[in-house]
Structure 1
């Protein structure tokens, strides 16, 4: 036995407490000569083979029956390329020794990862197929600075942590190893002896594909090819463009009728995409598809941020789904969850025995509402992991934008906490300065590296400048969900029409702050669960009135400034709350023509009309694009406003939120001429009472509402109508 390899060292190596396997294993120049050492449990015979000639150079001696072999190569002084001929159970295998390869991380990578400014950490971290020195295998790199030992285990080494302990890079807390022969499609994990000596088996935070629950292993697979963002997709995200988003939970949009099982990515490509196109939507928004252990979280508790869920197929099938959407003219947004993560043992929690990704103090690191852990945004490697993930979806999948979940919970330290349950920032305030910096940095990176993509904030407070550039003190999002508008208008609509006169301002209040941000008007999944009822079921009255109210509300929503978002099922007036375990109630559209068909036709026509007329979307965030014509008719619950495009063309939106037909309703207008109804939510086509205004209504030089010309219209009961000047079409 070599002087350098004593029994104590071998014991430490085999027990997993020898932190520098490369100092011991592989080929080394020693005083005794050129020595080769290998740890090969269960091997009976080992030979050193010179790669160049294929000649046997030396037979290794079994120093320890647990599989430690060593030999001095006779007559050789300088290191050379070699392989090991290993006999296991009477069968000889020729393998490359993982411990003959040098360090993997380059100096610049090491610096950027430690600094937290690596734009694409996923190109370095995780498992990547590689050819090194002519040998094909996989390079593994993991951040676990407080671990005592890390081994990569998988199908390529019998899940045996003794076989492939990794090299520790003390300068940045990374562990690395090139494993010859490990190939795409094989499963793996990291076996960690943590800071406290406890054995942990962890999935790869940077895994690009993972097993579906209840299995938890990561899968070796190459990075997807980059996807260039076509100019048409960039334009479709613009502030002056029509944006109508169909929000979808892939697992419950539609299911197989025979077994209630999910549709695959391929089936969704064939069914969901044509449906969204036919309905006139411009964007699909998918509830989180990053791998997650619990179906009931709807994806909002992810543990595989870089891995599309296997519930519906492979990663490449998901990429094809995105490509098909683009080919059909749809942009795709992903719900993205950088605020918190679940505490499952195989995931990020106490990753190396320390609170590595989360905070140590539960007042900073624990979400009481969701029983999850909060990312430590102040740790550079953590914020880099998350910001890199945002760019990953844009560049590698062609995602057109991210809707960022629960931003308010990120930017406030006292979010949903009582006094004494949170820790102030360094200045004594309630803002989470580290999270704010992270959001600004991420949005800035996406703006520079993924030009044309967008981020949309779900932010439920009045935090200033959410959609203002980060350089000017904003958070740098392009859009923000207008949750205030949503709550106010739904509160109004749930009132019996006889009482709506007392709540009139709920419908007008949104314009007082509309230009503070770039808003999306959301009727999202959150509004049809947890006992809130469906949107249809919130409407008052009998069945006829419920559907009329819903149609009038949709007409108002599509007419109001701001981009649109509708959760699946709302487009045909589903009566039940959403249930993630079953399909939408598509049977409501079967059989004879009914109210649900009418709502579906209305939403389709709203989308197509909204997209056709620039006045309805071009100046959403410009005060020139909107003007009240009737704002204070409390007694009649009537609202009338103008939408305007950059050339001055106008459209009129008029809503009557009572079941009383308003005959000869006169209001002042800006542009005299002939006006024609282009949409009427009371149309018989939508199962309304079919009260209409005929083909054309001429204005009259009669002063009204401080204007010289006016229109006299019939306003249908519980309805919204859109009108366009005849010469403006």
Structure 2
């Protein structure tokens, strides 16, 4: 069962399938009850509950129905219009009823509880299995989506009865039970059957409703009872600090984005305009008059999406919203990878948000964290009493910087679980991309470790070969099954071929964050203008490798936390110069080869460092200088979207031409961007000193009129309003190796973008 699937119905006359742990598909002859068997079941120590509970043939026309009913004052089996009393066989509530009949009985259990209420329900142990061995085998097929169609709590019908099938991978457990508010969290009530050829425990529980809370009670291989574990495949979870999984059902959300989805696969992201607004949903805006609460997914749909549309961004990238316990992790330490965080609403509310974005023409991306997970007791750590998801050796399995476990990518079931999770968000929730967090920490066995603190690979190197294989298989799966989506690597080293196809030896990502560009250019722009001449190489060095990968230029949340200040706070000079520097820097970024990413607040010059517990300071937009920065970003986005020269050949060196690269004394830099069609040319010129420059001549690749499409010094942005009267005609004067040139006025601390017309 999975999204859109129902349980495989079983014939009412079938014998119960999976009695023996070693072969759940083969019926086994039943023997009489023994006191030891009853004691084991009542002590929640029996590893094969179907060998004891449910209907058992004990003679040619004789059956016993056995049940654990600790809540019962009395109980009866209801079958074919008859009520047959149960006999109590154990003081804690083990009951047996004898039935005569030819075939396996179809029955319900009626319980009179000690509080005087009478309830009737179907017996979970009266149902066969809804799994097949090929389902279990597929849990080792990296790239398959079978994980979220088989494991977890899947809503469906079995023998015509509605309920939930629970399935969990815990191969080393001695016993697993599903517990919840539907059985008083009593591990004796719903012990599960084991498919030994795969280590999956399974149980169909009829009559359960969406919204019930549940976990798994697991007895480890040494017999010790573990802390209750959340479902690794839970599709919904309680709002932290509560930690239970929530029965959700797995049908596809109601979508109205068919137009978006039908055209998504036809786009080539590498040759498209991509401008990403990175958002932490919990602090973009809050509701101060209601206890500073979060906005809900639906409120964000009504407020955030129109704002992003008006600002001209093409995508929203959410910091992780897979359910996580600790607010201060910003989502980067998730526990329930298949559940949208309940902080902002239900899974249906989240789907509504994505649907609203698509209706507005906005893509939605997720920061995805497959590299590590937290130590919370209800999470994946030592899940079945062993190091199941993580490496046992801390030199491989423990991340010293973050105090988290590292996934064992070499275990097929773990790699399959993670790869299926990537597909789940792209396919089930229609997301348009995944930005993969901390890829460098996955690729290197010695990442942030000293000598002796890591284990080399089989060839003696520091490359994590299992992680490389996992990333390649995941990228192959996502691009095969979700065409038009993108995967983006946050990879901070010079690992070769991150965004190259796997068939050429690459990792298969669509894009890579250009961390080098970000560090270099921020280093330059933060210098006092008088010193910038000594750091001019920070502006030009990135073009030496700009086309070696498919790059995204990131000004992300990482640059405005941990004492780094805000984007505006990095700028030198007096107040006017700070804003002028920031406007010029954004113009430089939008004119530079590479897709764009900007963290929220940066678009209007947030003054303080980002705080995940507070709303952005939207009141700053009452200040014309802050509003001017916002208008700059808006206008840059719209210019970018409408100018193919600025994006169509982003990843090709033939789409770029240096015009001025060596004027470090004046801190002036200029280049041409070229589109796919002849005549599609844009000229980008930045003057990073507070000195206006008149008559500055720049060679251009073609003649014609060059419209001044953007001027960061315009009065409407808070600038000094120097410029070029709307544009310049190219003159037949040779300059910078070109037959034509422009004679320009360069305003102080400014970026100009000219677009060739005609």
- Measured against the shorter chain, the TM-score band is over 0.9
In the alignment, the residues of structure 2 paired with residue 553 and residue 235 of structure 1 have an alpha-carbon distance, to the nearest angstrom, of 33
> 1:318 maps to which residue?
350
Q: Give 1:111 deviation, angstroms.
A: 1.5
Q: String of CA shifts for 1:163-182, please: whole Å, max 9, x gaps.
A: 11000111110000001111
How far off is 1:643 after superposition? 0.5
Q: Distance in 2 between matches of 1:670 and 1:447?
A: 38
Partner residue in 2 for 1:277: 309
**1:360 Cα shift?**
0.4
Displacement, 1:233? 3.4
Aligned counterpart, 1:5: 33
Residue 692 (structure 1) aligns with: 723
CA distance in 1, matches of 2:174, 2:146: 27
SS at structure 2 position matched to 1:630:
strand
State TM-score, norm by structure 2: 0.93
Is 1:454 matched with 2:486?
A: yes
The offset of 1:396, in angstroms, is 1.1
Q: What CA deviation, in whole Å up to 9, does each residue of 1:28-73 have, x standing for no partner?
A: 12258322211111323222222xx3223x3221111111112332
Name the CA distance, whole Å, in 2 between partners of 1:720 and 1:220.
54
1:70 aligns with 2:96: yes
> Is the aligned partner of 1:703 residue 2:734?
yes
Partner in structure 1 of residue 4 of structure 2: none
Equivalence for 2:235:
208
Does residue 675 in structure 1 map to residue 700 in structure 2?
A: no
Paired position in structure 1 for 2:694: 663
What is the aligned partner in structure 1 of residue 17 from structure 2?
A: none
Correspondence for 1:505:
537
Question: Contact 1:280/1:607 (CA < 8 Å) preserved in 2?
Answer: yes
CA distance in 2, matches of 1:24, 1:668: 87
The equivalences for 1:173-322 within 5 A come to 173-200=199-226, 201-225=228-252, 230-234=261-265, 238-258=269-289, 259-322=291-354
C-alpha distance in structure 1 between counterparts of 2:312 and 2:555, whole Å: 17
SS at match of 1:156: coil
Q: Structure 1 residue 116: deviation in Å?
A: 4.8
Q: Which residue of 2 aligns with 1:46?
A: 75
Q: Does 1:22 align with 2:13?
A: no
Change (3 A) 1:703 1:91: closer
CA contact (8 A) 1:377 1:434 kept: yes
CA distance in 2, matches of 1:391, 1:214: 28
Q: Is the 8 A contact 1:394 1:401 kept in 2?
A: yes
What SS does structure 2 have at the residue aligned with 1:714? strand
1:478 pairs with 2:510? yes
State the distance in 1 between where 2:233 and 2:449 align: 32
Aligned to 1:617: 647
- Cα gap change, 1:239/1:146 in structure 2, threshold over 3 Å: closer, same or farther? same
Tell me by how many angstroms 1:670 deviates. Answer: 1.6
The Cα of 1:115 is off from its aligned counterpart by 4.7
Task: Within 5 Å, give how 1:485-564 maps onto structure 2.
Answer: 485-564=517-596
What is the CA distance between 1:235 and its match in structure 2? 5.1
Contact 1:224 1:397 in 2 (8 A): no
Find the residue that maps to 1:717 and give its secondary structure.
coil
Tell me, in whole angstroms, the C-alpha distance in 1 between the residues paired with 2:721 and 2:246: 58
Structure 2 CA distance for aligned equivalents of residues 651 and 8 of structure 1: 83
Across the aligned residues of Structure 1 and Structure 2, the Cα RMSD in angstroms comes to 1.5
Supply the distance in 1 between the matched residues of 2:268 and 2:236 (Cα, whole angstroms).
Answer: 29
- How many residues were matched structurally? 720
SS at match of 1:99: helix
Task: Note if contact 1:666-1:711 (Cα within 8 Å) is conserved in structure 2.
Answer: yes
Give the whole-Å Cα distance in 2 for the aligned partners of 1:666 and 1:3: 97
- Give me the whole-angstrom Cα distance separating, in 1, the residues matched to 2:436 and 2:141: 24
Aligned to 2:626: 596
2:123 corresponds, among 97, 102, 105, to 97
Listed one character per residue, the Cα deviations across residues 618-675 of structure 1 (whole Å, up to 9, x for unaligned) are 1001122110011111111111100111112211111111111111111222212222
Q: Offset of 1:257 from its aligned partner? A: 2.5
Query: Contact conserved, 1:678 with 1:724, CA < 8 A, in 2?
Result: yes
Aligned partner of residue 653 in structure 1, secondary structure: strand
Distance 1:109 1:198, change over 3 A: same
Q: Given the superposition, is the C-alpha separation of residues 236 and 717 from structure 1 closer, same or farther in structure 2, using an over 3 Å criterion?
A: farther
Whole-Å separation in 2 of the counterparts to 1:204 and 1:675: 60
Q: Is the 8 A contact 1:285 1:335 kept in 2?
A: yes
Deviations 1:402-446 (A, max 9, x none): 000000001111111111111111111101111111110111011
What are the Cα deviations for residues 587-615 of structure 1, in whole angstroms up to 9, with x where unaligned? 1112xx52101101111000001111110
The whole-number CA distance in structure 2 between the counterparts of 1:397 and 1:601 is 32
- Secondary structure at the residue paired with 1:86? strand
Contact 2:357 2:364 (8 Å CA) reproduced? yes
SS in 2 for 1:509: helix
User: 1:108 maps to which residue?
Assistant: 134
Q: Which runs of 4+ in 1 moved over 3 A?
A: 114-118, 226-229, 231-237
**Cα gap change, 1:451 to 1:3, in 2 (>3 Å):** closer
Q: TM-score, normalised on structure 1?
A: 0.97
Does 2:69 match 1:37? no
Q: Is the 8 A contact 2:320 2:369 kept in 1?
A: yes
1:335/1:405 contact within 8 Å kept? yes
- Do the aligned partners of 1:224 and 1:396 also contact (CA within 8 Å) in 2? no
Residue range with higher mean Cα deviation, 677-686 or 32-41 = 32-41
Matched, 1:85 2:110: yes
**Whole-angstrom CA distance in 2 between matches of 1:264 and 1:696:** 46
**In structure 2, the residue corresponding to 1:321 is in which secondary structure?**
helix
**Paired position in structure 2 for 1:645:** 675
**How much does 1:127 deviate?**
0.4
Q: 1:149 aligns with which of 163, 167, 175?
A: 175
Q: Residue 306 of structure 2 aligns to a residue in which SS?
A: helix
Q: Measure how far apart 1:23 and its partner are.
A: 0.6
